[in-house]
Structure 1
Amino acid sequence: MIKVALQGAEFYAYHGFYHEEQLIGTHFLVDVQVGFYADIDLDKDNLSNTVNYEMLYAIIEQEMKHTRKVIETVAQAILNRVKTEFTFIEMAEVTIKKQRPPFSGPIKQSVITLSYQK
């Protein structure tokens, strides 16, 4: 299996359950990994023989712009778009890390991960 991933894509976005979070926003880190079996000739050195991670980034960037209350919803939207764009993938995983969530004590990040297996 070939795995293609983006790790630590940084975004400032306005996701959060509380109204204040949607006004102020915060920093997020997003990781996306996909896996597929290569039944093509990789020696041909052709971008169409793999998952284009520039397209992966564009999907993440577009979905991070849509404010949502729950980051699981953001991850699901990213996962759905990745599955639609790259129908040949066998697995995918999306992780979103919300930096310094608003709690009464210091927390580095809250993290959610959604996985897909064909």
Structure 2
Amino acid sequence: MGAIRIKNMQFHTYNGVFAEEQKLGQRLQVDIELRLPIETQVLHDDLNETIDYGAVYQAINDFVTTHHYQLIEMLANQLLKHLTEQFDVSGITLTIRKGAVPIAGIFDAVEIEVSTDD
């Protein structure tokens, strides 16, 4: 099974529990891994035999910039559901990172990862 990955896509969104997050917004980072049988499916150097990365990016962009949730867990679950309905793949792993989290501590980001069953 092969994998196509798009890493560190960044979007300005209005997801969050606190009023400031919903009003001012913040940057979220998204990684996606799409699993499909590249070794047997892509035989003719033809885009129709694989996944169009541009279409995947656009689908993610359109969803995360127009849907607003309090929890990034909910955003991750709903985005995963949306992508599985749009793309014919064997499995998807989706990671969403949020750097601006109101926690008293030193860290890079909070990360949520969800996957479909292969």
State if a TM-score over 0.5 links the two structures: yes
Give, in whole Å, the separation in 2 of the partners of 1:2 and 1:112.
Answer: 23
Unpaired runs of 5+ in structure 2? none
CA shift, 1:106, in A, is 3.5
- The one-letter amino acid of 2:44's match is K
- The one-letter amino acid of 1:54's match is G
The answer to whether structure 1 residue 32 and structure 2 residue 37 are counterparts is: no
Provide runs of 4+ in structure 1 moved above 4 Å.
Answer: none
Give, in whole Å, the separation in 1 of the partners of 2:75 and 2:63.
Answer: 7
Per the normalisation by structure 1, the TM-score is: 0.89
Provide the residue aligned with 1:71 in structure 2: 72
Provide the residue aligned with 1:52 in structure 2: 52
Give the stretch that moved more between structures: 12-21 or 97-106.
97-106
Tell me, what secondary structure is at the counterpart of 1:117?
A: coil
Identity in percent: 25
Asked whether the 8 Å contact 2:14–2:26 carries over to 1, the reply is: yes
Tell me, what secondary structure is at the counterpart of 2:116?
A: strand
- The one-letter amino acid of 2:111's match is V
Tell me, what secondary structure is at the counterpart of 1:45?
A: coil
Give the stretch that moved more between structures: 6-15 or 70-79.
70-79
CA shift, 1:112, in A, is 0.4
Asked whether the 8 Å contact 2:43–2:49 carries over to 1, the reply is: no
Provide the residue aligned with 1:4 in structure 2: 4
Kindly tell me the number of residue pairs found equivalent between the two proteins: 116
Per the normalisation by structure 2, the TM-score is: 0.89
Unpaired runs of 5+ in structure 1? none
Tell me the C-alpha RMSD between the 2 structures. 1.5
